[in-house]
């Protein structure tokens, strides 16, 4: 049923833009609030833990992508390195996790741009961004560059506003009364901020020289985003009491209001619009990543083969993209922002646990990074999953288990779903 082919159009800079665009907006505008509630003044420690786990995962993803330069990310790596069942678990975890991420980003758009009408705005954002993405991957990259520039400008407004506020105090950075379990839970929330680099790994069939491009692009994108997060995080904690940051779904608004300004001030308006646009940029880049994994699973018969169709005119898995759009709208109407982030964390951390396990299985001549990094990444993923709220852990586990059950009930990969 498959028609058409994906085209290798993207270079290193394009892949870095897509990766950064998938991360800027995820945690920097949304994840601070639940993380601050969990870790208190230990928030920067949580950010460091999340970044360390993300780096270990990134090195595993990069070396696996160089060996297996096809669409599907860890769904493919798990199948080829560990077996079909592990690949299916990773693929299902990615689809579930990133669909929840997509819902979370859409709700973030609503939280900043129209508080009180988050779900309506979120549903419209999901549909609108899907229409843009249907124009093709080249358009997606071009629009992402614009959205990323606007996002960084908005963050610059937040940072400048924070440091020009007389009440800003570096003494708030001291991690007093910090609970280790709370820090780990916050790291699980903050990991949501870094998970966008997986988007690069799913582009194996759409980058030029993938064996070189992907291993270079993933660490570059992660490093650039980490610098942004540290600057914004230090500013936010110094400018706002941690209790205030933990309330609501738009934590960086608190920085803009700390000097007594109203939501109608110019700086607040710029930052709020910029935050919404940043989240839209993440939405734009989540759609292709999810659809490429759906495409890969459909090719192997682990999802209906109807989804393996590639639209020849657009060079897109159009059916898969439309299907995940419909599902994302449904999730937006069911979950709130914090629940979406938490469930996404469980599913995506499971995906990366399989990534690291696959990297551990590489032979010495295939390895580009020490095996200890992959081991640390695997342990880190499992610890952060267990540290997340019990409701998210159970909910995520049920959804992941349902994917395993469905796989057991459907025809084998040799025949697939017609």
Position with higher pLDDT, 284 vs 61: 61
pLDDT bracket for residue 18 (50, 70, 90):
confident
Whole domain around residue 217: which residue ranges? 12-407
**In the structure, what pLDDT confidence band is assigned to residue 185 with cuts at 50, 70 and 90?**
very high
Mean pLDDT, residues 101-113:
84
59 CB contacts (<8 Å, ≥6 apart)?
219, 359, 368, 369, 373, 374, 377
Instruction: Write out the two tokens for 316.
Output: 């897109």
**CA 1 to CA 418: how far, in whole Å?**
9
CB of 295 closer than 8 Å to CB of 308:
yes
Q: Which of 117-126, 199-208, 309-318, 344-353 is least confident?
A: 199-208
pLDDT band at 418 (very low <50, low <70, confident <90, very high): very low
Average pLDDT, integer, range 160-182: 81
Quote the CA–CA distance of 147 and 376 in Å, as a whole number.
34
Asked whether residue 3 is domain-assigned, the answer is no
Whether residue 299 lies inside any domain: the answer is yes
Query: What residue ranges in 276-325 does DSSP mark as E strands?
Result: none
396 CB-near residues (< 8 Å, 6+ apart): 96, 342, 343, 345, 346, 347, 350, 385, 388
Percent of residues, the chain, with pLDDT higher than 90 = 17
Calculate mean pLDDT across residues 217-239. 87
pLDDT at 415: 42
pTM metric for this prediction: 0.80
Cα 337 from Cα 342, distance rounded (Å)? 9
The number of distinct structural domains making up the chain is 1
In a domain, 254, yes or no: yes
Q: How far is CA 131 from CA 3, 294, 381, in A?
A: 21, 19, 34
How many angstroms separate the CA atoms of 372 and 378, rounded? 10
Take residue 387 and report the two structure tokens written for it: 């540290």
Token digits for 383?
């610890």
- What would the pLDDT profile of 60-97 be if each residue is shown by its tens digit? 988 898 888 776 778 889 999 999 889 999 989 888 88
Q: How confident is the model at residue 259 (pLDDT cuts 50, 70, 90)?
A: low
Residue 23 lies inside a defined structural domain of this protein: yes
Is residue 357 predicted with pLDDT exceeding 90? yes
**Which of 23-32, 109-118, 164-173, 197-206 shows the lowest mean pLDDT across its residues?**
197-206
What pLDDT does residue 212 have?
75
Q: Which pLDDT band, with edges at 50, 70 and 90, does 52 fall under?
A: very high
Q: How far apart are CA 141 and CA 25, in angstroms?
A: 16
Establish if 417 belongs to a structural domain. Answer: no
As a whole number, the mean pLDDT across the chain is: 81
What percent of the chain shows pLDDT beyond 70? 84
Higher pLDDT, 103 or 2: 103
The confidence score (pLDDT) of residue 338 equals: 82
Q: What are the phi and psi torsion angles at 311 (to 5°)?
A: -65, 115
| Residue 57, pLDDT above cutoff 60 | yes
* Mean pLDDT calculated for residue range 106-114: 84
Q: Is the pLDDT score of 273 beyond 60? A: yes
Task: Taking residues 375-400, report their average pLDDT.
Answer: 92
Provide mean pLDDT across the span 212-221: 80
Question: Quick count: other Cβ atoms within 10 Å of Cβ 217?
Answer: 29
CATH number of the CATH domain containing 119: 1.20.1740.10
Alpha-carbon distance of 128 to 89, in angstroms, equals 30
Provide the token pair at 373.
């990094």
pLDDT band for position 50 (cuts 50, 70, 90) = very high
Is residue 73 assigned to a domain? yes
pLDDT-wise least confident of 97-106, 245-254, 333-342, 362-371: 245-254
Mean pLDDT to the nearest integer, 310-336: 82
pLDDT class for 292, splitting at 50, 70, 90? Answer: confident
Angle subtended at Cα 358 by Cα 2 and Cα 320, rounded to the nearest 5 degrees: 25
Asked whether residue 5 carries a pLDDT value surpassing 90, the answer given is: no
Q: Give per-residue pLDDT as tens, 326-352.
A: 888 988 888 888 888 888 889 989 999
Confidence label for 186 from pLDDT (cuts 50, 70 and 90): very high
């Amino acid at each position: 049923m498959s028609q058409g082919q994906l085209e290798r159009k993207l270079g290193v800079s394009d892949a870095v833009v897509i990766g950064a665009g998938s991360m800027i907006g995820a945690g920097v505008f949304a994840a601070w609030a639940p993380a601050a509630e969990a870790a208190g003044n230990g928030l920067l420690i949580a950010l460091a833990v999340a970044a360390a786990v993300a780096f270990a995962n990134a090195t595993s993803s990069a070396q696996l992508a160089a060996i297996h330069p096809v669409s599907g990310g860890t769904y493919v790596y798990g199948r080829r390195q560990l077996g079909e069942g592990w690949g299916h678990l990773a693929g299902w975890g990615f689809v579930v996790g990133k669909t929840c991420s997509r819902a979370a980003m859409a709700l973030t758009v609503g939280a900043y741009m129209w508080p009180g009408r988050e779900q309506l705005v979120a549903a419209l954002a999901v549909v609108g961004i899907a229409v843009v993405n249907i124009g093709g991957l080249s358009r997606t990259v071009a629009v992402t560059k614009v959205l990323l520039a606007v996002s960084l400008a908005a963050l610059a407004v937040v940072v400048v506003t924070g440091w020009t506020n007389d009440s800003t105090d570096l003494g708030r950075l001291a991690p007093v009364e910090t609970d280790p379990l709370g820090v780990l839970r916050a790291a699980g929330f903050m990991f949501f901020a870094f998970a966008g680099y997986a988007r690069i790994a799913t582009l194996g069939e759409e980058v030029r020289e993938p064996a070189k491009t992907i291993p270079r692009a993933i660490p570059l994108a992660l490093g650039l985003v980490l610098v942004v997060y540290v600057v914004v995080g230090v500013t936010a904690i110094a400018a706002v009491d941690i209790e205030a940051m933990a309330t609501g779904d738009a934590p960086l608004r608190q920085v803009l209001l700390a000097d007594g300004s109203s939501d109608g001030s110019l700086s607040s308006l710029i930052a709020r619009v910029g935050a919404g646009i940043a989240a839209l940029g993440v939405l734009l880049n989540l759609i292709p990543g999810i659809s490429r994994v759906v495409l890969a699973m459909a090719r192997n018969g682990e999802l209906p083969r109807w989804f393996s169709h590639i639209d020849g005119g657009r060079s897109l898995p159009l059916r898969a993209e439309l299907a995940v759009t419909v599902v994302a709208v449904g999730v937006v109407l069911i979950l709130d922002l914090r629940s979406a982030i938490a469930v996404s964390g469980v599913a995506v951390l499971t995906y990366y646990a399989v990534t690291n396990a696959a990297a551990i299985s590489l032979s010495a001549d295939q390895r580009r990074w020490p095996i200890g990094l992959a081991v640390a990444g695997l342990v880190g993923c499992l610890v952060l999953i267990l540290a997340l709220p019990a409701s998210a852990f159970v909910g995520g586990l049920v959804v992941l288990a349902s994917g395993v059950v469905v796989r057991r009930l459907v025809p084998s990969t040799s025949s697939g779903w017609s």
